[in-house]
Structure 1
């Protein structure tokens, strides 16, 4: 075979390779089970070599593969115990990850809006693992915009002191370590999405729950936070936006990861928002809220049609809602105290299986029963949600129209880091 023919065959094989299909690659992360990992390494290396590409800097949390990489002289040679992966530092030896360290704030010169934004932009957390600790920085940036600083205007003394506190907290985020493995690929997953809002921000947190014989495992897989628009909005409107945001994140995760999802449940601590969603009706004269409820209804239909999943909506007390942490200023000390609650969710997800029950005065008896009585997969309650003909709640919110929220940044690449088996290869 001549060189040109060999090259053409190599390129054909390269196009067929799962590793490079529809992607331009500078770094590849692949999560594999035990059996095919070595074969995948040799096959990918061979096919890429046929196309004229040399794969290098392989690293794995599997000791046998690490030795093989070393013998083939294609492993990492920088001498560091960690690898940079999508804004995180990944430690193969422990299969853990943390956010990359932000350089210390320079004491030379005066702080400006440009310098503040430049420093905060260095913290890249696409999975939202440390979202609660970053809310204060987003709120601070909005303060600077409202104060009408030019890009290079020096900040006043009050804002300088606040910036020093925020930057100190952000630099300590590297002390928080997260297990990369969150899901067993051979078991079904129940996705639980909590949402919440305050006057300053709204957001959601998504947890993957897997049931075993005597317990459940619950792990945070994604969170998202947005600052409330400068134009004043009512809290119920922002709570509704949080549910809308949670749906957008849900579809992004489902599209990017092919794990087996058995159920999807939304935990909401605003009874009026539950009433809107469960009845498909908004009694207030609020066109925006009605449109968002319509969007959520369409999301539910799409979820059923595309994935065969029926979204359920349940009431969650505020003190048990982890999404509450992404709606307010949480300093590093409070984040440390609530770290386990944040990464695993409320205890009932991992132990009792049963959703907490509360009196729901704002909901009709039918909707109240559906929103408070719920057990995770494998238990007795598998009732369906009511249609728009259900009795509407008596309470309604007095709200002004809000602006349509911006689209959610797609977390496909980031979600691939944590949502499967132990990390085997990255180069």
Structure 2
């Protein structure tokens, strides 16, 4: 499919753009009218509400058009194939044994072009994993066992641009690649996690199809009407499979912002289902289907962030190693602690986190001021700061522009070293998080036998 640029669009579209722009620009230069008292003020039609609304509608309309041209609505995101060497590393077996199992399972051979080497889809890797686990139960499928509770990992911060969503999507894919059953839930109306997993909110997420559909107060927040309205949708109805085998998604959209206005009304009307329990209750509906849930929280402390914190078993706070970002993290932790204390005092349970970690992101190890900040954090919080860091890399940025992760990108000779260095960093972070999960489950590693 051709990827049309703005300049490539038909002249009619360009003329339409100019008309739309002229339509929003004219009111900005309209003369002011005298009001009582001799003071001048802009016409009501020139206020910020009208101006921002029209600009926002124009921008959304044009972005949707561009998205339809570059990423057609019927187009689905596809995951690259994996080399035999990668498959062997993921499964912990030799390449020869991988090929032997393929013959046993009669998996048809697919060759990578133009090299001609055999490649594998993630579905085929999953078949191999199931085949291995049938011979050694519990060794190759690290699913939860009896007595092991679901792990809900929440990636949160108070400041945008810290790499929170980037780390969240990489963690979700990392766990899926290792055989865990993973559910990614996007709590951020900006929907970065949703977009990275191949879903464009403007095109693919309709009303009540985001997380909002499963947690909203559709009975109008009136306890006397509880059960009379439609009520929230079952969680399973808003979960969708992704192109990434083993990883499901509950998407976000701008509709999710309505939770911030519904929740205070529900509090005022003393709704019997408090806002802070809505996400945990939704997860409970599908907990038996998953081992790991990854939450991507918005960079603010609103109602949905608090509900996400209440549902969490593990918390990962991302921070860029600059003092202004560290100060923002201090505010986040202080305010979050105060708010959660209020919730606990209002009848909420004490949230028992299995672990909480600080993750240094966008890190440049050769930058001395950054290293000083990292050393400062480690001196204060010691093992609560992950040993691995998410390095600042052009490979991560390039993948983001293509709406890909490092696990999806295809290496070539021009970027192989940069890619490998970034992937090693990301794997290091995710391996530490996996170790925390296994520690909670009292396992040495995910291949430990019963």
TM-score (norm 2): 0.25
Higher normalized strand content (fraction of residues): 1
State the TM-score, normalized to the length of structure 1. 0.26
Higher RCO (Cα < 8 Å, 6 or more apart): 1
